[in-house]
Chains A and B, each alone.
Chain A
Amino acid sequence: AQKITQTQPGMFVQEKEAVTLDCTYDTSDPSYGLFWYKQPSSGEMIFLIYQGSYDQQNATEGRYSLNFQKARKSANLVISASQLGDSAMYFCAMREANTDKLIFGTGTRLQVFP
């Protein structure tokens, strides 16, 4: 069965520093997608970045990059040059090709301080 684990309930980072949010997953399907979402205090779910299981290169979107280590089954989110507006909950999620379900981790609350 598919499973997503986020072991960091909370993280602090100083403005302008980089931060890594951890995510490990488990699946027996060779075809899958990994997603990161941001949820600010307003509650909306904002899609940040996607990595496919067959992608050779790590995904990047602006200040977000995904450190994809397939053999270790990890898909860590790296936020460079943190901003105060990055303070939010961050969720890692996975979707297998043989099912349309998106399964989420428990989330990491990131707080950026000046």
Chain B
Amino acid sequence: DVKVTQSSRYLVKRTGEKVFLECVQDMDHENMFWYRQDPGLGLRLIYFSYDVKMKEKGDIPEGYSVSREKKERFSLILESASTNQTSMYLCASTPEGSYNSPLHFGNGTRLTVT
């Protein structure tokens, strides 16, 4: 079974802090994704990566950056956290060139910025 692990289930940070959300997958998937989930808005794509050191902006990249130095790890970075970034963050992965393959999700990180 594919396992996608997000390092923290809950996280509380202060406004202005630099925040790292970590995600690791164990199935050698090329593609990795970061979404945020907010009530009434569904899941919105922040960034995705289709290979090591490769990244593409999703629909809401502002205020975020990502890092993919190793194939299994995809990090989401909030350079200066703000209260409007309080949300549930979901990481996912899938093999390359597989538009018919489902994404495998981690359990999510609920981030609160105070």
Contacts and interface: CB of A to CB of B under 8 A. Distances in A.
A85 interface: no
25 contacts: A32-B99, A33-B100, A37-B102, A43-B108, A43-B110, A44-B105, A45-B103, A45-B105, A47-B102, A47-B104, A50-B100, A50-B102, A91-B42, A91-B43, A100-B31, A100-B48, A100-B94, A100-B96, A101-B33, A101-B45, A101-B48, A102-B92, A102-B103, A106-B40, A106-B42
Interface of A: 6, 9, 31-33, 35, 37, 43-45, 47, 50, 52, 91, 93, 95-97, 100-107
B42 A31 contact: no
Main secondary structure of the interface of B (DSSP, over half): strand
B72 to A, nearest CB: 17
- Contact-size category for B: 20 to 34
A104 B42 contact: yes
B61 interface: no
Contacts of A6: 42
A52 B100 contact: yes
Given A35-B102, A47-B102, A104 B107 contact: no
